[in-house]
């Protein structure tokens, strides 16, 4: 079995390395060849394009930043989907929205290629230690073909159902993690503002039902102020944004997630994008964009129309205006309604 791997960032490089540790030879592609260099050798060769890679493999893994990157690699110039062999299997481990996974499954089926959405839970350390959790949306027969490969990179596989269900579960997982991190950061900021030391707050809160267990893994980052990324803040914001798009598509209200998503976006604009997502604490503890708004806040639409982070619109239509995507409409609603009601009152 010849395996291809496209996307050798902080997660993909570790996943590919674990496949090699189990004796699998890989054909590799990354936009920046330098990131592939540590994997090249007896078990790794580099292809000059996704199309060139696809002609050589039976199973292809992709681990890319967002739906746009996946679609470009699959269907763009020198894309891989037209060049994969009939009956080949494409496993997309990227964090994307469910409707996009279903679209890619349809595109693959048109070309007699099998598709599996298999996003992961776990950051760089679990990726390096082959401790990832795979959330799989696929036909069972396709999952069985790749199960041994997934266990080279992870220690748990959950078959959620058909196409798009793996990305659906991953989306729920990440929005819960993102919300939990933001809520904890806000609680810490309040506690410190009331004069409680950071150490006392950590010692008091960790291990209680009030705090998600993963927060304990972020303690050292917050205490030392070292936010080297295990999961970049911009990726968390992206995943929460995709969740809001999916909520719009499904008719589900998500006011808490939409508010948290906006906080992560504002933190990105303040320079925290490539730091670990726990750096949301730095943004909130410093007062964020609201530092000049200490005390009572004027709860008026006009206060937000002039904001550099708002849509610039004074109204909030029930449906997206003509020419505006669902995501853009959701962002407009977020900045005006959710920030106004949930963050500043």
pLDDT, averaged across the chain: 88
Say if residues 108 and 73 touch (Cβ distance below 8 Å): no
Question: What percentage of the chain reaches a pLDDT higher than 70?
Answer: 83
Q: State the pLDDT at residue 287.
A: 85
Residues 211 and 214: their CA atoms lie apart, in Å, by 8
Q: What is the mean pLDDT of residues 212-231?
A: 96
Q: Which of 244, 254, 94, 89 is nearest to 166 (CA)?
A: 94
Q: 289: pLDDT confidence band, cut at 50, 70 and 90?
A: low
Q: Given a cut of 50, is residue 4 above it in pLDDT?
A: yes
C-alpha separations of 28 from 141, 228, 340 in Å? 26, 26, 47
pLDDT at 250: 96
Q: Judge whether 2 counts as a catalytic residue.
A: no
Rounded to whole angstroms, the Cα distance separating 119 from 169 reads 9
Span 254-272, average pLDDT: 97
CATH architecture for the domain at 3-162: 3-Layer(aba) Sandwich (3.40)
End-to-end Cα separation, the chain, in angstroms: 59
Query: Which of 35, 103, 156, 170 is an active site residue?
Result: 170
- Give CATH 3.40.50.720 domain extents, the chain: 3-162
Kindly provide the b/e burial profile for residues 103-140, where b requires at least 16 CB atoms within 10 angstroms of the residue's own CB. bbbebbeeeebbbbbbbbbbbbebbbebebbbbbbbee
Q: Which two tokens stand for residue 21?
A: 């540790």
Domain 169-343 -> CATH class = mainly alpha
State how far the Cα of 75 lies from the Cα of 61, in Å rounded to an integer.
Answer: 15
Provide CATH 1.10.1040.10 ranges for the chain. 169-343
Query: What are the tokens at 244?
Result: 């809001």
């Amino acid at each position: 079995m010849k395996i291809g791997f496209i996307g050798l960032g902080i997660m993909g490089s570790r996943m590919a390395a674990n496949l090699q540790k189990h004796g699998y030879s890989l054909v590799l592609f990354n936009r920046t060849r330098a990131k592939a260099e540590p994997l090249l050798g007896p078990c790794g060769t580099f292809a000059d394009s996704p199309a060139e890679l696809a002609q050589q493999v039976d199973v292809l893994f992709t681990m890319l930043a967002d739906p746009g990157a996946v679609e470009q690699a699959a269907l763009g110039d020198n894309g891989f989907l037209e060049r994969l062999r009939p009956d080949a299997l494409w496993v997309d481990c990227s964090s994307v929205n469910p409707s996009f996974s279903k679209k890619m499954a349809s595109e693959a089926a048109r070309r007699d290629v099998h598709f599996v959405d298999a996003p992961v839970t776990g950051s760089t350390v679990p990726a390096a230690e082959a401790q990832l959790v795979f959330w799989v949306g696929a036909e069972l027969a396709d999952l069985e073909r790749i199960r041994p490969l997934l266990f080279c990179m992870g220690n748990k596989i959950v078959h959620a159902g058909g196409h798009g269900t793996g990305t659906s579960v991953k989306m729920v997982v990440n929005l819960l993690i993102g919300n939990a991190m933001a809520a904890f950061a806000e609680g810490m900021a309040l506690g410190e503002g009331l004069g409680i030391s950071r150490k006392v707050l950590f010692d008091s809160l960790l291990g209680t039902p009030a705090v998600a267990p993963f927060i304990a893994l972020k303690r050292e980052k917050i205490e030392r102020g070292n936010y080297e990324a295990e999961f970049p803040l911009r990726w968390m914001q992206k995943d929460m944004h995709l969740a809001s798009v999916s909520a719009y598509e499904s008719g589900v209200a998500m006011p808490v997630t939409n508010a948290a998503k906006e906080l992560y976006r504002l933190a990105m604009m303040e320079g925290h994008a490539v730091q670990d997502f726990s750096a949301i604490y730095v943004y909130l503890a410093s007062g964020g964009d609201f530092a000049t708004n200490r005390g009572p806040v004027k709860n008026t639409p006009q206060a937000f129309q002039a904001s550099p982070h708002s849509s610039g619109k004074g109204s909030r239509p029930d449906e997206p205006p003509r020419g505006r995507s669902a995501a853009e409409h959701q962002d407009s609603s977020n900045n005006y309604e959710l920030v106004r009601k949930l963050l500043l009152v």
